[in-house]
Amino acid sequence: MRRLSGVFLFLFLCGLSLGASKLTAQMTPAAPFGEDTGPELFGLAGVIQPLNNLTDNTGAYGIVIPPDVMMGGEVTYWASRAVGIGVMGLYSPATLEAVAGGPGRGPGTLGEMEYLAGTVNLTFRLRSSGSAGALEPYVTMGGGLRQLKFYGAEVPKLSATDPMATAAIGVRVHLLSSVWFRGELRDMASYYISATTDASKLQNDIGITIGFGVRY
């Protein structure tokens, strides 16, 4: 998983290098206001790294989602040169693992699961005035739902659907024509309620994604 994260970091830096080259070579005036609004579609892939256990050790074992691949997409409508609203969906074919809970008990895989997240996001971007917007740093925030679908024996019940808040920073890089590259670091925060203890626990799932998209 560390090697996979390194691959995505390498691709992210390659995209920035391409954008920087374009930035220095392309010194045309910025596009007039109104020519940079409308829909945008991105396909995304990356890794997800949960920072917290779903449940802590309560005498038997705790539960954790290990790092895994993640994919998805986002459709954004840019209402102005600075503000856009988007709908994002993310999916990870993750697993659940037990955290050791006593002498002689070791961690192990409990079974396969699906990690699903859907959010509505408000995005603010910074356009480059001297290069027709070859680089677009941005911040985004929003909210939605996170669903965990566990396919093993649920004793106790592990699947859950919870409200989720999200925030991210990233950069879009204009590659050619209407094609853009994107790299992003996203935090997805939610509360998981244990069916055993009824206690809620804050979850912070970090997503690192890259992607390519088309702006119309």
Go through 169-188 and write b for each residue having 16 or more CB atoms within 10 A of its CB, e for each that does not. ebbbbbeeeeebbbbbebeb
Rounded to whole angstroms, what are the CA distances from 71 to 50, 77, 91, 152, 187? Answer: 15, 21, 5, 23, 15
Percentage with pLDDT > 90 across the chain: 54
Task: Report the CATH number at residue 177.
Answer: 2.40.160.20
| Highest mean pLDDT of the ranges 24-28, 130-134, 208-212 | 208-212
Say yes or no to pLDDT of 21 above 50: no
CA distance 65 to 67: 7
Under 8 Å between Cβ of 174 and 19: yes
Under 8 Å between Cβ of 68 and 94: yes
Which residue type, as a one-letter code, is found at position 53?
N
Range name among 12-26, 67-81, 122-136, 173-187 with the lowest pLDDT average? 12-26
CB atoms within 10 A of CB 148: 21
Say yes or no to pLDDT of 15 above 60: no
The pTM of this model reads: 0.79
3-state secondary structure of 187: strand
> 92-135 pLDDT, tens per residue?
999 998 887 554 445 678 889 999 999 999 999 998 665 556 88
Q: How many domains does the chain have?
A: 1
Rounded to whole angstroms, what are the CA distances from 133 to 21, 80, 89, 90, 159? Answer: 13, 14, 26, 27, 43
Beta bridge partners of 149: 114
Work out the average pLDDT over 132-140: 85
Q: Which domain holds residue 191?
A: 2-100+108-215
3-state secondary structure of 6: helix
Can you tell me which residue has the tokens 């080259």?
Answer: 21
Work out the average pLDDT over 76-88: 96
Can you tell me which residue has the tokens 């992003």?
Answer: 184
Higher pLDDT, 207 or 1: 207
Higher pLDDT, 108 or 137: 137
Range name among 19-33, 98-112, 136-150 with the lowest pLDDT average? 19-33
Under 8 Å between Cβ of 49 and 208: yes
The radius of gyration of the chain from alpha carbons, rounded to an integer in Å, stands at 20
Beta bridge partners of 200: 193
> 147-205 pLDDT, tens per residue?
999 987 766 788 899 999 999 999 999 998 899 999 999 999 999 987 767 778 899 99
Rounded to whole angstroms, what are the CA distances from 92 to 4, 150, 180, 211? Answer: 15, 12, 24, 16
